[in-house]
Amino acid sequence: MSINAKLGELLRAVARTGADFADLYFERAASHSYAFEDGSFEEISSSSSEGVGARILLGEATSLAYAPGVALETGASCLHEAAEHSGLSLARQQMPAIRVVDREPPFPTPEYAFFYELDKRIKAGSMWIQQVSMNLDTAFKSFSVFNSEGSIAGDRRLYTIFSVEVVVEKGGVLQTGYESEAFSMDCGEFFRSVSPLKVARTALSRALLMLDAPLCPAGAMPVLLSGEAGGTMIHEACGHGFEADIIQKDFSVYRDKIGKQAASSLITLVDDGSIPGYLGSGTFDDEGTPCKRNVLIEKGVVRSYISDIASSRRGGLPLTGNGRRSSYRSVPQPRMTNTYIEPGNSSPEEMLRSMKRGLLVKKMGGGEVNPTSGDFVFHVTEGYLVDEGRVLHPVRGAVLTGNGPDVLMNIEAVGDDLHFLPGMCGKSGQNVPVTDGQPSLLIGNLTVGGANTCDEAIFE
């Protein structure tokens, strides 16, 4: 009997005990990570792992058992343990100690000597530099997943992320510039496409630009969120609210909104895990469901949520290919992949010309979001005052405060300039790579926190 046949029989035996669903997830992974600061490496680390996770769904309960190794007997042992946790009586079957998946060749170690020269060149660019930090992370993950319904699937994924943060100080004012690049490719291919010097210079120029900028005025005003700002606000303030487990826990403002208006008719929100080369992409998700394009909002109307197998079975939802897990040690969850607002018909230039007085946001920073209400606070790391369609000057210290669904309803124009930015998304202790995207968005009115109230003088 083949390995696949043995696994199939084992999983069907679990189903016969009364389990609603069971699967075995075999994973191989490796990574290299470099953290460089103050002219030297703070950390260099490498890791590799092989393991299997066995999951059983029974009613509302999920049982997970995992162990290192990808042998058939290890998978059988984990499945037996998960069955015991579920209160099911599964006869222990003797399985051979043969590998279910092939070995991976050693994951290549990237060249990293360039960090020293890059650090010198960036520090020579300004007398105000206080600190330069650089990070390089490259990793691969391959997996095979077998379930009690007879499905067998797998995938192999790569990603590389390079980022630079520059801190400058002048007259007691500290400013930070940050820039990153990331793609679903190995390190060698990545640096044939990406210039580390360009990334670092962008971070430096952003920090220096804000160093002499006056503090941003506070008040309610129109905000033009540039496509270059990335989709952080959409991801955090809106995207998580479409994840089916959050919907089912009644932690989302989008609960019971299918078929209802939840945004401006200009807005179409998509999550698509099948876009080649993007961090959130794959052929299959981590449960073996094909990755695909899912329209969450179509012309302002909510059309679907994103699901995994557990939430799909619980709520009778279609499978969307969004079951993701950070490793074999983790339970899959409904997670975003590549989430973006589709481009519109307005050019960024005409959107800018339509503004009387407001704020142009070129780069977003960190912030906080309440997923239940959609309320958010986001810091702006590069912003400019606008008056009568003209960009006046950069301002620092701007903070955007509002509500995600309200923002979507208050969109007055959508640009034709879709931009994507990669990142890592955290949820319930698990981090997975994602990509967020948006075109320029003109928000009719948004509360901007800053130094003082809006008046005539600050726009002069």
Measure the CA–CA gap between 166 and 123, rounded to whole angstroms: 9
The domain ranges of the chain are 3-211, 219-459
Per-residue pLDDT of the chain (460 residues; tens, 9 = 90+): 789 899 999 999 999 999 999 999 999 999 999 999 989 999 999 999 999 999 999 999 999 999 999 999 999 999 999 999 999 998 888 889 999 999 989 999 999 999 999 999 999 999 999 999 999 999 999 999 999 999 999 999 999 999 999 999 999 989 999 999 999 999 999 999 999 999 999 999 999 998 989 999 999 999 999 998 878 888 888 899 999 999 999 889 899 999 999 999 999 999 999 999 899 999 999 999 999 999 999 999 999 999 999 999 999 999 999 999 999 999 999 999 999 999 999 999 999 999 999 999 999 988 888 877 889 999 999 999 999 999 999 999 999 999 999 999 999 999 999 999 988 999 999 999 999 999 999 999 999 987 654 444 444 4
Listing DSSP states for 321-378 in one string gives S-EE-SSTTS--EE--SEEEEPP-SB-HHHHHHT-SEEEEEEEEEEEEE-TTT-EEEE
Measure the CA–CA gap between 355 and 91, rounded to whole angstroms: 70
Measure the CA–CA gap between 244 and 250, rounded to whole angstroms: 10
Measure the CA–CA gap between 272 and 239, rounded to whole angstroms: 12
| φ/ψ of residue 57, rounded to 5 | -105, 130
Give me the residue label for tokens 């050693």.
Answer: 106
Q: Find residue 310's DSSP bridge partners.
A: none
Q: Is domain 3-211 annotated with CATH 3.40.50.10860?
A: no
Measure the CA–CA gap between 63 and 41, rounded to whole angstroms: 41
- What angle is formed at CA 399 by the lines to CA 240 and CA 237, rounded to 5 degrees? 10
How far apart, in Å, are the Cα atoms of 357 and each of 87, 351, 391, 392, 436?
A: 64, 12, 10, 10, 28
- What angle is formed at CA 437 by the lines to CA 431 and CA 438, rounded to 5 degrees? 145
